[in-house]
A and B are shown apart, each in its own frame.
Chain A
Amino acid sequence: MPEQLLFAMEVTLNGLMAGVLYALVALGFVLIFKASGIFNFAQGVMALFAAMTLVGIMDGQVPFAHLINATFGTDIHHFGWHVPALLAIILTTGVMVLLAIGVQKFVMGHLVNQEPIILFMATIGLAYFLEGLSDLMWGSEIKKLDVGLPQGINETIDQVTYDLFGYGFFIDNLDIVATVIAALLVVALVLFAQYTKQGRAMRAVADDHQAALSVGISLNFIWVLVWSLAGFVALVAGIMWGTKSGVQFSLSLIALKALPVLMLGGFTSIPGAIVGGLIIGVGEKLFEFLLGPALGGATENWFAYVLALIFLLFRPQGLFGEKIIERV
Chain B
Amino acid sequence: MIYREAGDFSTTYPQDSQTFPIKFDRYRYYVVLAFAFLVVPFLINDYWANAILLPFLIYAIAAIGLNILTGYCGQVSLGTGGFMAVGAYACYKLMTAFPDVSMFIHVILAGFITAAVGVVFGLPSLRIKGFYLAVATLAAQFFLVWLFNRVSWFYNYSASGQINAPERDTFGILITGPNATAWATYLFCLIFCTASAIIARNLTRGTLGRSWMAIRDMDIAAEIIGVNPLKAKLTAFAVSSFFVGISGALFFAIYLGAVEVGEVFGITKSFLVLFMVIIGGLGSVFGSFAGAAFLVLLPVALKVVGADMLGWPTDIVAHFQLVIVGALIIFFLIVEPHGLAQLWRLAKEKLRLWPFPH
Contact = CB atoms under 8 A, between A and B. Distances in A.
Contacts of A125: 325-330, 333
A140 B320 CA distance: 12
A321 B302 CA distance: 44
Nearest to B152: A296
B6 interface: no
Interface in B97-151: 124, 127-132, 134-136, 138-139, 142-143, 145-146, 149-151
B124 A111 contact: no
Contacts of B139: 302, 305-306, 308-309
B159 interface: no
Nearest to B136: A309
A131 B135 contact: no
A328 B220 CA distance: 6
Contacts of A157: none
B319 A70 contact: no
Given A70-B316, A259-B138, A306-B143, A129 B337 contact: no
Contacts of B224: 328
A312 B320 contact: no
B334 interface: yes
Which secondary structure characterizes the binding site on chain B? helix
Interface residues of A, number: 53
Interface string A57-90: 0000000001100110000000000000000000
Nearest to B321: A132
Interface stretch (B19-27, B34-42, B249-257, B305-313): B305-313
A126 B337 contact: no
Interface residues of B, number: 50
Interface in A126-169: 126-133, 135-136, 140
Contacts of B132: 263, 312, 316, 318
B322 interface: yes
A324 B288 CA distance: 33
A140 B155 CA distance: 33
Nearest to A45: B326
B315 interface: yes
Contacts of A267: 131
Nearest to A262: B135
A306 B120 CA distance: 13
Contacts of A298: 146, 149-150
A129 B142 contact: no
A63 to B, nearest CB: 13
Given A110-B334, A328-B221, A117 B326 contact: no
B128 A312 contact: yes
A132 B142 contact: no
B323 interface: yes
Contacts of B127: 312-313, 316
A132 B320 contact: yes
B135 A133 contact: no
A146 B321 CA distance: 31
Which secondary structure characterizes the binding site on chain A? helix
B143 A118 contact: no
Interface centre among B129, B224, B327 (most CB of A within 10 A): B327
B312 A70 contact: yes
B323 A129 contact: yes
A260 B131 contact: no
A290 interface: no
Interface in A9-65: 39
Contacts of B149: 298
A246 B347 CA distance: 50
A107 B323 CA distance: 14
B178 to A, nearest CB: 32
B136 A302 contact: no
A305 B327 CA distance: 29
A328 B223 CA distance: 10
B290 interface: no
A296 B319 contact: no
Contact of B131 (A120, A256, A301, A309): A120
A245 B342 CA distance: 45
A67 B146 contact: no
A323 to B, nearest CB: 14
A135 B316 CA distance: 8
Nearest to B70: A117
A111 to B, nearest CB: 6
Given A306-B143, A326-B220, A328-B224, A127 B326 contact: yes
A313 B271 CA distance: 25
B142 A301 contact: yes
Nearest to A318: B132
A308 B139 CA distance: 9
A297 interface: yes
Contacts of A39: 131
A307 to B, nearest CB: 9
Given A129-B326, A132-B324, A297-B150, 10 more contacts: A70-B311, A114-B337, A117-B76, A121-B329, A140-B315, A305-B142, A308-B135, A308-B136, A309-B124, A328-B224
Ranked nearest first, the 9 interchain pairs of A and B with the lowest CB-CB distance are: A132-B322, A129-B326, A125-B329, A128-B326, A305-B139, A132-B323, A296-B150, A302-B142, A302-B143
23 contacts: A39-B131, A67-B312, A70-B312, A70-B313, A107-B330, A118-B333, A121-B278, A122-B329, A122-B334, A125-B326, A127-B326, A129-B326, A129-B327, A131-B326, A133-B323, A135-B315, A136-B320, A295-B150, A296-B151, A297-B150, A305-B139, A309-B124, A313-B128
Interface of B: 76, 124, 127-132, 134-136, 138-139, 142-143, 145-146, 149-151, 218, 220-221, 224, 267, 271, 274-275, 278, 310-313, 315-316, 319-330, 333-334, 337
